[in-house]
């Protein structure tokens, strides 16, 4: 462990010291240089500390991708407190559980999400300060201090100069917690060190992307994702490049608008979004400025990769990472793209495929993928059992089934569990099933992942209705899910069944549900096997 390392200094102050102060750092609703960002995160760090935060206290960040969110994260690094960026798709009730679990003392939110934050605060007794960026109706409980973002930043600018300095953190100091459902349905925080940020920059960023100070990065994945924060923050800032931030929900039209205006050279997406781009009416030269595209979040089907290259003329390198590993550890390369595979290990990581006994298997034999490297999280916050299951000494159990061929390329065969990944986000079937079962007309339900026309898994619910269900239809049940869960968790399709397949002991045969839906069955059979 080094005596001193602070990720904010590594990403920003170091660039200013290297003479990059006047270079454009970020383009969002405003454009800032590296020197301007350095001053801003100093103000934010001082405001955090002046508000009473101490080392390792948590700052929960529910914000749109823009300069304020960038400053909120980096200011936390500088102040020695823990940045906890949270999905903006969570409901208020879901946010409240996470605020309470993290023990957050301060919350920063964008106006778009203030209603959910207001609701969540009622379940978060440790929160003492809430900061709102933008115009919104912030309602804080008694005893909680509310600030506007400009006033909060101004308070930091007026604070004692020593509060603006980079706190004396070390490699192993907490920097970033990222919540994930991972291989279980319960959200849990993967705890990352300051050093982990440097490691992903020096491995995937440098040795796979080959990122340079002349690159301009645009990411579809938002900064609350591990994939997104690497694409939009860690990699570009580590080399003095420019990050292009988009606070709106990405659509093909919005991305085309930003690509035309900002001319990114690196474009980072997920398979579902690449499918959307191909189904749009974008011009074939829309991505002419892009030298390389990346994909992660779920396997990229080979036909999708080929169609994108043929139409837009841009190579996509598919990779796999995880919240627990902070970013991508297995990837194709610009000079070695094998469609349908996830490529080879990123330099700086070791991989192995193991059998059920934890023993490595030979090439050509499927097994459970494990990885080790310096960016692996310290574990899960207050989740001892889950930590013991996933973190085995130096090795991280990814939960993915893989096979390696004789050339050393890895191919994903699916998950080791029943979790479903929709649009690159983990969805717990049990959570969705619980919500559907709250509907008075639903008797039984099974949620599984079924490939769509592009070969991408989407959550589909097989539902058995009560005899008195009346006119309950697919739209009503999907709306029911969206009203009680984050929208991305809602099933994309409902298939009605008279019964669900079970074992002789009454256990659901989820694999049979998946098989029958994949075969296009309009109705499921419930034979006991």
DSSP state of 203: I
Which pLDDT score is estimated for 269?
A: 95
Determine how many CB atoms are found less than 10 A away from the CB of residue 14.
17
The CATH H-level superfamily of 196-415 is: ANL, N-terminal domain (3.40.50.12780)
Instruction: Indicate whether 507 pLDDT > 70.
Output: no
pLDDT in tens, 192-233: 999 999 999 999 999 999 999 999 999 999 999 999 999 999
pLDDT in tens, 312-328: 999 999 999 999 999 99
Contacts made by residues 310-313, CB under 8 angstroms, sequence distance 24+? 311/278, 311/284, 312/277, 312/284, 312/285, 312/286, 312/287, 313/284, 313/285, 313/287, 313/288
Which pLDDT score is estimated for 456?
A: 85
Structural tokens at position 353: 């495929």
User: Does this chain's domain 32-169 share its CATH topology with 196-415?
Assistant: yes
Closest by CA position to 238, among listed 261, 206, 194? 206
User: Which string of DSSP letters, residue by residue, matches 455-501?
Assistant: S-EEEEEEEEE-TT-TT--HHHHHHHHHHHS-GGGS-SEEEE-S---
Helical packing angle, 34-50 and 67-79, nearest 10°: 60
What's the distance, Cα to Cα, between the start and end of the chain in Å? Answer: 56
What topology is assigned to 32-169 in CATH?
Rossmann fold (3.40.50)
Instruction: Indicate whether 524 pLDDT > 60.
Output: no
Instruction: Indicate whether 427 pLDDT > 90.
Output: no
Which pLDDT score is estimated for 298?
A: 83
Lowest mean pLDDT among 16-25, 181-190, 290-299, 381-390: 181-190
- Model confidence at 421, pLDDT cuts 50, 70, 90, reads confident
Instruction: Indicate whether 87 pLDDT > 60.
Output: yes
Instruction: Indicate whether 529 pLDDT > 60.
Output: no
Determine how many CB atoms are found less than 10 A away from the CB of residue 505.
6
pLDDT in tens, 150-174: 999 999 999 999 999 999 999 999 9
Instruction: Indicate whether 453 pLDDT > 90.
Output: no
Rounded mean pLDDT of 128-149? 97
What contacts 446, CB < 8 A, 6 or more positions away? 429, 433, 461, 462, 500, 508, 510, 513
Q: What are the residue ranges of helices labelled H in 406-472?
A: 429-437
Instruction: Indicate whether 1 pLDDT > 50.
Output: no
Lowest mean pLDDT among 86-90, 121-125, 515-519: 515-519
Which pLDDT score is estimated for 374?
A: 98
Closest by CA position to 396, among listed 102, 85, 183, 177? 183
Which pLDDT score is estimated for 220?
A: 95
Phi, psi of 171 (to 5 degrees): -50, -45
Which pLDDT score is estimated for 505?
A: 55
Contact 28, 65 (CB under 8 A): yes
- Model confidence at 526, pLDDT cuts 50, 70, 90, reads very low
3-state SS, residue 420:
strand
Strand 292-295 and strand 442-451: pairing? unpaired
The span from the CA of 477 to the CA of 426, in Å, is: 21
- Model confidence at 528, pLDDT cuts 50, 70, 90, reads very low
The span from the CA of 98 to the CA of 93, in Å, is: 9
Task: From the options 3.20.20.70, 3.30.300.30, 3.30.1490.20, 3.40.50.300, give the CATH code of 428-518.
Answer: 3.30.300.30
- Model confidence at 439, pLDDT cuts 50, 70, 90, reads very high
Instruction: Indicate whether 304 pLDDT > 50.
Output: yes
The span from the CA of 524 to the CA of 499, in Å, is: 7
Instruction: Indicate whether 106 pLDDT > 60.
Output: yes
Contact 304, 317 (CB under 8 A): no
- What share of the chain in percent tops pLDDT 70? 96
Domain boundaries, the chain: 32-169, 196-415, 428-518
Which pLDDT score is estimated for 272?
A: 82
Which pLDDT score is estimated for 20?
A: 97
Give the number of C-alpha atoms closer than 13 A to the C-alpha of residue 235, restricted to the C-beta side: 33
- What share of the chain in percent tops pLDDT 90? 78
Largest CA distance in the chain: 73
Which pLDDT score is estimated for 174?
A: 98
3-state SS, one letter per residue, for 183-198: CCCCCEEEEEEHHHHH
- Model confidence at 462, pLDDT cuts 50, 70, 90, reads very high
Instruction: Indicate whether 330 pLDDT > 90.
Output: yes
Q: How much is the pTM?
A: 0.87
């Amino acid at each position: 462990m080094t005596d001193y390392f602070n990720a904010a200094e590594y990403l920003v102050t170091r660039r200013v010291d290297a003479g990059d102060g006047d270079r454009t750092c970020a383009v969002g609703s405003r454009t800032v240089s590296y020197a301007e960002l350095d001053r801003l995160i100093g103000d934010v760090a001082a405001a955090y500390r002046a508000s009473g935060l101490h080392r390792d206290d948590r700052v929960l960040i529910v914000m749109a991708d823009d300069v304020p969110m960038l400053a909120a994260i980096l200011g936390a690094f500088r102040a020695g407190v823990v940045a906890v960026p949270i999905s903006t798709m969570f409901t208020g009730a879901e946010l409240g559980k996470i605020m309470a679990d993290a023990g957050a003392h301060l919350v920063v939110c964008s106006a778009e999400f203030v209603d959910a934050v207001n609701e969540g605060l009622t379940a978060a007794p440790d929160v003492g300060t809430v900061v709102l960026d933008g115009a919104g109706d912030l309602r804080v409980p008694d005893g909680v201090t509310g600030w506007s973002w400009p006033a909060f930043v101004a308070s930091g600018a007026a604070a004692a100069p020593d509060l603006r300095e980079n706190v004396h953190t070390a490699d192993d100091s907490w920097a970033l917690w990222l919540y994930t459902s991972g291989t279980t349905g319960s959200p849990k925080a993967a705890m990352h060190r300051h050093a982990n940020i440097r490691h992903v920059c020096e491995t995937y960023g440098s040795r796979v992307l080959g990122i340079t100070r002349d690159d301009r990065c645009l990411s579809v994945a938002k900064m609350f994702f591990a994939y997104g924060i690497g694409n939009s923050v860690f990699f570009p800032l580590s080399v003095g490049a420019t990050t292009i931030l988009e606070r709106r929900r990405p659509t093909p039209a919005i991305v085309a608008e930003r690509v035309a205006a900002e001319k990114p050279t690196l474009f980072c997406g997920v398979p579902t979004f690449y499918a959307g781009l191909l189904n749009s009416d974008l011009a074939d030269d829309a991505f002419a400025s892009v030298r390389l595209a990346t994909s992660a979040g779920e396997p990229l089907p080979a036909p999708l990769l080929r169609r994108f290259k043929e139409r837009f003329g841009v190579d996509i390198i598919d990779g796999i990472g995880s919240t627990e590993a902070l970013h991508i550890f297995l990837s194709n390369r610009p000079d070695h793209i094998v469609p349908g595979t996830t490529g080879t290990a990123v330099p700086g990581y070791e991989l192995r495929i193991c059998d059920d006994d934890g023993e490595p298997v030979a090439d050509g034999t499927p097994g459970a993928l494990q990885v080790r490297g310096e960016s692996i999280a310290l574990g899960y916050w207050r989740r001892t059992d889950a930590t013991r299951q996933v973190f085995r000494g130096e090795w991280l159990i990814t939960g993915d089934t893989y096979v390696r061929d004789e050339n050393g390329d890895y191919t994903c065969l699916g998950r080791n569990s029943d979790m479903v990944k929709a649009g690159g986000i983990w969805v717990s079937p049990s959570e969705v099933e619980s919500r559907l079962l709250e509907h008075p007309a639903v008797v039984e339900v099974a949620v599984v992942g079924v490939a769509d026309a592009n070969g991408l898994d989407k959550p589909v619910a097989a539902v058995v209705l009560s005899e008195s269900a009346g006119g309950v239809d697919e739209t009503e049940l999907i709306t029911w899910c969206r009203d009680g869960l984050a929208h991305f968790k809602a099933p994309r399709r409902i298939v009605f069944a008279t019964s669900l397949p079970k074992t002789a002991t009454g256990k659901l045969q989820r694999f049979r549900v998946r098989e029958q839906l994949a075969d296009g069955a309009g109705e499921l059979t419930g034979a006991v096997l």
